[in-house]
Amino acid sequence: MKFLLEHLRTFTDLPERPHDARELLDDVGIEVKTAEATQFGTVFNCELLANRGDHYCYEGVAREAAGRTGHPMRYPPVKALQADRTSDRVRIETPLCLVYTLTELFAPEDRQDCLSSTVLAPLTAADIHSINAPVDASNLTNFDIGQPTHAFDADKVDGAITVRLSRKGEKAWLLFTPGPIEIPEGMLVIADESKILGIAGVIGCADSGITDSTTRILLEAACFDPVAVRIASRALNQATDAAARFMRGGDPTLPLVGAGRVAKLLEDHCGYRVGNAYVAGDWKDPQRTIEVDVERTKLFIGASLSHLEMADRLTRYGFTVEPEVNTLTVTVPPRRLWDVHFEADLQEELLKSVGYNNTVIELPPVEMGALPSHRENVMKQTSELLVAEGFYEIFTDSFYSPKMRERLGVGEGDPLWAHVDVLNSQEGDYAMMRNNTVAQALDALATNVNNKLANVKMYEWARIYMPDLSEREILWALANGRDRGPFWGDKGRPADSIYLKGILEQLRLELRIDLGFGSTDGHRLERFFHPGRRLGIHLDGKLVGIFGELHPTLVQNFGIKRQRPVYFEIETEALLAPAIPRVYSEPPSRQPIVRNVAYATPRGITSEDVRNALLEAAPPFLREIRVTDLFELPDARAITFEIEYLSEEALTGETINAATEAMIASVTKKFGEKVTQRV
């Protein structure tokens, strides 16, 4: 949000130099992204806290600065309105409206643009164009004190105004839209006897809006339930300044003040006459009080403040404080009821007032720590290996939108259809807890590819949440592009399934766990992978993970083109399996006895399959069978195995050759002509 520094100074005293004023705002939590010199003065573009609706106005920002400096606050003049609380001119039929006011305004006969460029400067600084006097005054009031208002043409309003929930089939013509649309049932609306006048807290309607010829105005000022406003704003795709304030929590005591501010501007500058004001709503201040322990607060904030100093600082933010030597009894003002609930919230206010940089910095006492646990060692070894391979650790959300099912190609009846749903989710993008991490992995890849970063390697220690409310810890990694580099004279090779298998082999050796590779049958993510470029990860006969190239259709569903990412996922519990003990064996005194066998294998038969066939006929004096070479042919692979036998004195060449022939025959028997021996 953009603020004009010169206008901000009318609310409280600020440092003279814009640079110093910017540093002050930054330090109290109002981050100034940019500062720009304009013809009206210095414009600060600020990033505001998401949960603080009171920050979205000059008064709120000035109060944060005054909380630090101790300078008094100044408020814009407001016309005192005598409100009729008994009239049936306005009615509220739902508790989602806390307070609703209507104020009559009568335009002078010689209507013209009457608000000067100086008065409109805060709007101009925020890139909001002047429309007409009532709308400009409404926008100014919103910017000044944070109370949205809306003007209805009284001649277009049919009878009494009611705040209610929309009914099935009702339509409304929203401002700045081409025509009427159907309003979802149960949405908070403002209506007269025959039509909807506006969506409460979000936007008004074209058929009740004012024009340059409007002579009688009904000025609305109200306070609505923030969740109801958020739901309506999202459902109708209408992100307005009013919605931005209401959905973060409004001040129920402010509507009549806001109406009085608009009336004051129009009366003083434009000659408007102010008529009757009507109020509906039975909201009462709950007078929330919080007990603050003085000594505990001193320890928490790291500043030695007396109980009177604490009371003074909290009073600057609008809190009412009854100070005692050991305890403060603090009453929360209505505008802060949405975000101040606990003692820690008030301690945070005191920290902002003192300044985080002004507190004492002390390191806590530390005794001798314990040795790292097995889990910590395994996670450290694994992370170091992945980082050495060029992977970056990332952190993704544990929630996603129901639309993610469609992108994953998951339909009803699919094992991944069921999720842990978040009840009453205010954000549609966070309505379900994830039951897989492929979605976040591809989402992250799409972001990088769209930013021209195709060579990507990332991993995450993550949790997935199952429909039975159990949780699983997993490690996943994704690679795309090249496996390394590019370096001088070496552009690397594609990061493919073979590359991932090599990383998993390194993990097996580093952690000394007996990982194996084989069928993916039964794995819940199996269909997300290319059917000919995937393998399951096995431990002790159990399928504990999967790796391979992600299915092209799935990749395209995430808007990723011309890329072939590879992905692996393995249960953290498998990585934490007890390490195979290191056993020292004395090297043989004789030279090893070795035979080499080469095979041409078609796609679909792995080196592990052939090795297992050789082992089926292995003699008792076999030491090891290992792959020593792999060569890609146009339609097959040439794999060379080295067979090593124990160096025993009784073994002869004939015995070794006979054992080798028996193992070769075992391969022929199992695979027939599919696997051919190469000489």
Nearest to 222 by CA among 195, 202, 192: 202
The pLDDT value given to residue 678 = 66
Residue 596 bridge partners (DSSP): 642
The pLDDT value given to residue 112 = 67
- What CA–CA distance (Å, rounded) separates 250 from 226? 8
Buried-exposed string 225-245: b where 16+ CB fall within 10 A, e elsewhere: bbebbbbbbbebebebebbbb
Q: Where in the chain is the domain with CATH 3.30.56.10?
A: 2-69, 289-352
Residue 570 bridge partners (DSSP): 475, 545
CB–CB of 640/597 below 8 Å? Answer: yes
CA atoms 269, 274, 280, 281: torsion sign: positive
CATH architecture of the domain covering 593-678:
2-Layer Sandwich (3.30)
CB–CB of 266/86 below 8 Å? Answer: no
Residue with tokens 């009840």: 423
Residue with tokens 């590879």: 566
Nearest to 448 by CA among 458, 439, 459: 458
CB–CB of 112/213 below 8 Å? Answer: no
State which amino acid sits at residue 571: E
Whole-prediction pTM:
0.59
Nearest to 235 by CA among 428, 405, 423, 59: 428
Buried-exposed string 555-583: b where 16+ CB fall within 10 A, e elsewhere: bebbebeebbbbbbbbbbebbbbeeeeee
Domain 83-280 adopts which CATH fold? Phenylalanyl-tRNA Synthetase; Chain B, domain 3 (3.50.40)
Per-10-residue mean pLDDT, the chain, length 679: 94 94 93 91 89 90 94 95 89 95 92 82 92 93 95 95 95 92 95 95 94 93 94 93 90 95 94 94 93 93 91 95 94 93 94 88 75 93 95 93 90 89 75 92 94 94 93 96 76 88 95 94 94 94 95 94 95 94 80 90 89 93 91 85 84 90 92 78
- What CA–CA distance (Å, rounded) separates 562 from 89? 64
Q: What does the radius of gyration of the chain's CA atoms come to, in whole angstroms?
A: 36
Give per-residue pLDDT as tens, 248-264.
999 999 999 999 999 99
The pLDDT value given to residue 215 = 93
Pick the CATH number of 374-575 from 3.30.930.10, 3.90.1580.10, 1.10.10.10, 3.40.50.720: 3.30.930.10
CB–CB of 496/566 below 8 Å? Answer: yes
What pairing do the DSSP bridges indicate for beta strands 188-191 and 216-224? unpaired
CATH architecture of the domain covering 2-69:
2-Layer Sandwich (3.30)
Q: Where in the chain is the domain with CATH 3.30.930.10?
A: 374-575
Alpha helices of 203-289 — where are they, by DSSP H? 226-236, 241-246, 255-270
Say whether 30 sits in a helix, a strand or coil: coil
The pLDDT value given to residue 488 = 72
The pLDDT value given to residue 425 = 67
Residue 474 bridge partners (DSSP): 462, 571
The pLDDT value given to residue 73 = 95
The pLDDT value given to residue 221 = 96
The pLDDT value given to residue 212 = 87
Domain 289-352 has CATH 3.30.56.10: yes
- What CA–CA distance (Å, rounded) separates 315 from 254? 19
